[in-house]
């Protein structure tokens, strides 16, 4: 029996406009093939929203977000904000606000390497083969939301790194529950030798670990974790970490998958889920039709699984992506110039190939 779901699509900025269309088309195809009823609405956020309304997250978009079952998001950001840090209204404020308003405290980033992309990474294939990591990054605490100060003479600045016990408890439990369904290994990453916020983090994780005696728990400092991630990625299963450290580590981990253009993510809390590729707005290639749509398509697969409980449909999408790669089709970011049987194509052609394999 089919399900009825309302999905808000927020393409956002830059290549978000190009890749999100293919995530939506995949969801539409799944709905048709499996007799589901997905109703789509669209909202604006980020730079395009600032240009249109002066607000990076307009009330209308937030209202739609509160009333939907899941959100498919593209990216936010624009070079003008990178080049002028004094601007008070910024695209990223929209993303931070929607996370806070919807209670999206856990960011899940699966780092799973398709065998066909072993050569796309800068890391040796023998180190990569078999890597399968699930990151749990806390989203509503840390320096992103702590008090920010700048001295009157503009020569001193500070950002408060802050965590509350309940914030650590709730994401730790989600990570442990996920570890139970995988290899039953969890690595908590912090900087407890230096930071008081990390000492609280480690203390709370140690307490929660007692509730999951079947899961092997390891604690690792962020600097060591960054090294081990490229030295021996197969040692990790579930990685639990704070907002700032998770932001950095998951970008580093994109090299395991071959490209940021391959990495999907889910931001979840206790209700609505928010699904997005991790690659950002990439304005240097926006409008050129060369962006990789696979991360958006894989984000749609995550939505089907996590928010809708449609595991068969989710796996079908992943298999369609895998089949597309097996056939040798590549976007520029994952192409191997030394391989003759690769067919390098643009965003729309790659998206169309996945749809072909989905039908």
Residues belonging to the active site: 144, 191, 223, 247, 251
The torsion of the CA quartet 310, 311, 314, 316, rounded to 10 degrees, works out to -110
Alpha-carbon span 56 to 44, nearest angstrom: 8
Spatial CA neighbour of 260 closest among 238, 281, 277: 277
CB 176 within 8 A of CB 208: yes
Alpha-carbon span 185 to 174, nearest angstrom: 13
Buried/exposed code over 184-209 (b: 16+ C-beta within 10 A; e: otherwise): eebbbbbbbeebebbebbbebbeebb
Alpha-carbon span 22 to 358, nearest angstrom: 12
For residue 260, the 8-state DSSP code is G
């Amino acid at each position: 029996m089919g399900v009825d779901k309302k999905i808000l699509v927020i393409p956002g900025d830059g290549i978000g406009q190009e890749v999100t269309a293919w995530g939506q088309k995949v969801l539409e195809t799944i709905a048709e093939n499996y007799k589901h009823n997905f109703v789509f609405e669209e909202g604006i956020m980020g730079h395009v929203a600032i240009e249109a309304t002066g607000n990076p997250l307009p009330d209308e978009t937030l209202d739609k977000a509160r009333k939907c079952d899941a959100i498919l998001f593209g990216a936010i950001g624009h070079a003008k904000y990178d080049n002028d840090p004094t601007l008070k209204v910024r695209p990223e404020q929209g993303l931070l606000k929607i996370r806070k308003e919807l209670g999206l405290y856990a960011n899940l980033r699966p780092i799973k390497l398709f065998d066909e992309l072993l050569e796309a990474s800068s890391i040796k294939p023998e180190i990569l083969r078999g890597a399968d990591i699930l990151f749990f990054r806390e989203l509503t605490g840390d320096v992103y939301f702590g008090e920010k100060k700048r001295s009157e003479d503009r020569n001193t600045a500070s950002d408060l790194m802050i965590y509350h016990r309940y914030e650590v408890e709730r994401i730790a439990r989600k990570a442990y529950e996920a570890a139970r369904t995988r290899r039953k290994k969890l690595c908590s990453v912090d900087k407890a030798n230096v930071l008081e916020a990390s000492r609280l983090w480690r203390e709370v994780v140690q307490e929660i670990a007692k509730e999951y005696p079947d899961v092997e728990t390891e604690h690792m400092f962020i600097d060591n974790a960054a090294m081990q991630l490229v030295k021996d990625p197969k040692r990790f299963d579930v990685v639990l970490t704070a907002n700032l450290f998770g932001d950095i580590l998951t970008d580093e981990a994109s090299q395991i998958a071959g490209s940021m253009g391959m990495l999907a993510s889910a931001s979840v809390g206790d209700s609505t889920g928010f699904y997005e590729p991790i690659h950002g707005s990439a304005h240097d290639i926006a409008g050129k039709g060369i962006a990789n749509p696979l991360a958006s398509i894989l984000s749609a697969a995550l939505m089907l699984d996590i928010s809708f409980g449609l595991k068969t449909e989710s796996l079908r999408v992943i298999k369609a992506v895998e089949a597309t790669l097996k056939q040798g089709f590549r976007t520029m970011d994952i192409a191997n110039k030394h391989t003759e049987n690769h067919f390098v194509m643009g965003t729309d052609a790659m998206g169309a190939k996945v749809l072909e394999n989905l039908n």
